[in-house]
Chain A
Amino acid sequence: KAGVTQTPRYLIKTRGQQVTLSCSPISGHRSVSWYQQTPGQGLQFLFEYFSETQRNKGNFPGRFSGRQFSNSRSEMNVSTLELGDSALYLCASSPHGLAGGTGELFFGEGSRLTVL
């Protein structure tokens, strides 16, 4: 069974630009969560989607948004990039979502974003 796939793996942007990251969950998984990982802050929760609906949102500004498609694939978008947005963005999938499930997540390798 293929794991969680994230694209692109690496990207460089400049301040003010926007970026879209993509995540394909494990087949059959309906929940996709996004996390931002930085050396200083660790893993910070961005949002969770289940069956195309955003069910949870972390404490990030509105510049961070996401969506989920009917095939469970998800995208996240960051607009008006700032230097502080440089991070590893991790996508994780789970079969049942956080509600009613166990919270066990299967992570992708991440998309490393550098903002210059």
Chain B
Amino acid sequence: AQSVSQHNHHVILSEAASLELGCNYSYGGTVNLFWYVQYPGQHLQLLLKYFSGDPLVKGIKGFEAEFIKSKFSFNLRKPSVQWSDTAEYFCAVTPAGSARQLTFGSGTQLTVLP
């Protein structure tokens, strides 16, 4: 079965700082990878996704993530965070082309100080 590790449980940054959230997965085959975000009081929503092709994917609100197959990683980055980026971020994985569930990491709470 697949699993996902998010090593940073809580990250605190000042506005304009750069962000990198780590995500590592465990699965022996081809995967689809996702980052979801949950803003305070709102539902989970998709930030970006990787299925195949260019390992550097861009999502909404200036976020990007890089898939490094050799490291089983899919780290989320943003060059300059804003106060409005305060949220909980979840990395998720599912085996590509299979009827398996989406497996989520434990989440990283990002707090951006104004």
Contact = CB atoms under 8 A, between A and B. Distances in A.
Contact of B43 (A45, A55, A110): A110
Interface of B: 32, 34, 36, 42-46, 49, 51, 90, 92, 94, 97-107
5 contacts: A4-B43, A42-B107, A90-B44, A98-B101, A107-B45
Given A42-B107, A43-B90, A110-B43, A103 B102 contact: yes
B34 A48 contact: no
Contacts, number: 61
A56 B2 CA distance: 14
Contact of A98 (B34, B94, B107): B94
Given A103-B34, A104-B34, A109-B42, A45 B102 contact: yes
A105 interface: yes
Interface of A: 3-4, 33, 35, 41-43, 45, 48, 55-56, 58, 90, 92, 97-100, 102-110
A92 B102 CA distance: 11
A79 B107 CA distance: 28
Contact of A107 (B44, B94, B103, B106): B44
B32 A103 contact: yes
Given A33-B102, A43-B107, A109-B43, 20 more contacts: A4-B43, A33-B101, A42-B90, A42-B105, A90-B43, A92-B44, A97-B99, A98-B94, A98-B98, A98-B102, A99-B97, A99-B99, A100-B99, A104-B46, A105-B44, A105-B46, A107-B43, A107-B44, A108-B43, A109-B42
